[in-house]
Chain A
Amino acid sequence: MKAGNILRENNWKKIFGRGEVTVILAVLTLGIIFTIFSESFLTSYNMFNMGRTAAIYIFIAIGQALVVIVGGMNLSLGQIGGMTVVGAGYCMEILHMPPLAAVIAGLLVGVLAGLLNGFIITALKLNSFVVTLATSFIFTGLINGVSQGYPYNDIPEGFTFIGREGFLGIPFLLWLAAFALILLGYFFKYTVTGRRVLATGGNIEAAKMSGVNTNKMIILANIGSGVFAAMAGLLWISRTGSAQPSTGVDWMVISFAVAVIGGTVLKGGVFNPIGVFFAGFLIVMVKNGLVMLNANIYFEQAYLGLILLLAVSLDSIKNIINARKLKESLKRETIKQ
């Protein structure tokens, strides 16, 4: 009986020791609070919409996380999304290309932009911050130059199917995001290339000595980042039925917030798919909840910051409590001896 209790206690400790637990707890706590204070929070319409937004945030966060994992960053993520949107919109409205061809063209934009970032970073041994900052200007210029600021509204109706419909009451977008995270989780845990990418970010010198072609891994991560940014852009068109050149303008903050709150370590080497999934929801819930509670429009940003700060502090609070407990138990052990 006593052994059973210890086992159960250890299991709980293991569960609560996982990185994503705090973000899950934060989501649950906020969910309960918003449900108590707003009768509309748990409606199917609201849940569906939050699911769609969270899905887009997850794609954006994956785009950032992939380069953060190798110790870099992508400041041009939003612009890659914007270029994809403009490229796909241009293909459909101006060139009258079928949606599938436009999607391929959009993804190609992501691949090429990511390749360009990765190539410059590795070939010239430049910091990813500087390179992606520079390319973000190039991409902005291309977005403005091609679109002249005009949106593309002639998007075929079928294109909005994925963005607006769902399966089992869950938006297709969220299914896609979950699938992408599972795929990435598998990639990083069970494939050689995935482990090499993580190793590159964990300790680049050690990875090099182990025979990992780190440049190749960095280029691969940047291409992946470009592809996920492109996917987020395409899914956004699918959701709204319009290709707006301003898409992606505010992605940078979202990408870092979701990725880091979700457990992606800025130093690299760590990716937490479950954490990213719930972090996407956390950000969406806070924003949605503030509107639900009819928060004062002038102080809304302050509330947003406060709630996020509290949510991310949970992890530190958990660590402090754990450290204290460990200290106390060590003290007890010393007294016993």
Chain B
Amino acid sequence: MKRKTISVLLCAAMIFGLAGCSTPSAPTKGNGNEKTSGAADGSATEGTESNLKMAWYAPAPHPYFEEVQKGVEQFKSEQNVDVIIQIGPDWTQASENEKVEALIAQGVNALSIYPCDASGANGLYQEISEKMGVDVINFGTDTAKPTTAAFAVATDVKQAAFDATEAVIKMMGEKGNILNVLEVLEDPNTALRKTGVEEAVAKYPDVKIIQEIAGIKTQEEAVNKIESALSANIGKIDGIVCTGFVTSVGMTQTLSDYYEKQGSDKHIFTVAIDTDPGVLKGIENGIVDATVAQNPVGHGYISCMLLKYLSEGYKVKEGEYFVNAGNTLVTKDNMDSYEKDLQAVTKDILDSLTTKYLTK
């Protein structure tokens, strides 16, 4: 009896829960004149006046996506175009496929998306672009070639890794040993970053990579592996390059503890990536020397703008695919102004979209 009562209560809770999660009215594919008043979990829509039905998809809540979303919101308000904003539950291609298929079922015909799996995402793209005529643009990272995505709006990861390494080498006085901290090995971008770091080091004969660590998915792993590498090379490391978000956060935490234990007589020059608040705090405190700021707001804005142009009849110019959204080195000196530099880069790219990347 007790079990029955609990079961009934749980069922009731589920029904109420589902009712709370459901959309007030499901949008349908049509001429686009209808006003959409809601969307699936984590999404928001507004009215639209064209055939364009755009969606932006991020795999999971993450500070990087929060920044990209700002660009999408800015695009929405400045261009007066609806964008369904959806953030998925995890970084898996399976979840991404499910969520995107649901969006397409709602009539979405233009998609700005962060691909979870460089190869796996192509299967999804092929299906929705070839069968359903959906324009797809990658933001943040690229997919493997060939791909049916029209563009990839992202940071040139190899160049960013090269720039970061060169910055560390200059700080080191162009001599010494570097610890190269890579992130997830399954990500093809990691191989590009590795090459970027190695090419920069190869330019300077008195600099060598003393150790490489990789296979890091979580912040805990990052802390443990960086600590181990520091232990293995005490006094021998002159610089650290972190080319991933997780490793950058982990490095900042590890170094503050390292200096407490080992003393700060020998400074290890470090360059991180992205502008996590912890990393920026590390720059303020002098633990981290610089970080490579990507242009996430630009990733959001530019990708949506390209989709808008494609819906207006513009075609991709032959040979054009990758839009380098730029990056800048953030140090203690430009911490307050680097965002303006990135805004200027975004503006330049937006101005050149219809001439450099698209054609009528």
Contact = CB atoms under 8 A, between A and B. Distances in A.
A247 B60 contact: no
A143 to B, nearest CB: 9
A41 to B, nearest CB: 8
A153 B278 contact: yes
A37 to B, nearest CB: 11
A38 interface: yes
Given A149-B60, A149-B63, A249-B217, A298 B232 contact: no
A149 B61 contact: yes
Contacts of B223: 239-240
B266 interface: no
Contact of A124 (B3, B224, B231): B3
Nearest to A140: B89
A100 B233 CA distance: 37
Interface stretch (B121-129, B254-262, B294-302): B254-262
B75 interface: no
B201 interface: no
A49 B212 CA distance: 19
Given A144-B60, A294-B211, A247 B6 contact: no
B289 to A, nearest CB: 19
A53 B224 contact: yes
Interface in A49-65: 49, 53, 56
Interface string B1-12: 011001100100
A300 B225 CA distance: 12
B228 A148 contact: no
A124 B89 contact: no
A55 to B, nearest CB: 12
B62 A291 contact: no
Contact of B61 (A124, A137, A144, A300): A144
B150 interface: no
Interface string A120-153: 0001110000000000010011001001111101
Interface string B312-356: 000000000000000000000000000000000000000000000
Contacts of B231: 40-41, 43, 45-46, 49, 288, 292
Contacts of B225: 287, 291
Interface string B146-163: 000000000000000000
Contacts of B217: 249-250
A149 B281 CA distance: 18
B220 A164 contact: no
Interface in B108-129: none
Given A149-B66, A153-B277, A298-B185, A250 B220 contact: yes
A43 B233 CA distance: 11
B215 A297 contact: yes
Given A124-B3, A291-B229, A301 B219 contact: no
A68 to B, nearest CB: 22
Interface residues of B, number: 48
A123 B262 CA distance: 53
A241 interface: yes
B233 A287 contact: no
A228 interface: no
B227 interface: yes
Nearest to B61: A149
Contact of A151 (B2, B229, B262, B277): B277
B61 A297 contact: no
A261 to B, nearest CB: 18
B232 A246 contact: no
Given A49-B227, A244-B219, A291-B232, A150 B185 contact: no
Nearest to B182: A297
A151 B219 CA distance: 11
B306 to A, nearest CB: 26
B72 interface: no
Contacts of B246: 246
A209 to B, nearest CB: 21
B218 interface: yes
Nearest to B250: A240
Nearest to A146: B61
Contacts of B185: 297-298
B11 to A, nearest CB: 11
A84 to B, nearest CB: 14
A298 B253 CA distance: 25
Interface in A263-302: 284, 287-288, 291-292, 294, 297-298, 300-301
Given A49-B227, A287-B228, A300-B214, 6 more contacts: A45-B231, A46-B231, A164-B257, A236-B220, A239-B223, A249-B217
Minimum-distance CB pairs A-B, first 6: A46-B231, A149-B61, A291-B228, A297-B214, A240-B253, A149-B62
6 contacts: A38-B232, A46-B231, A239-B257, A246-B246, A298-B214, A301-B215
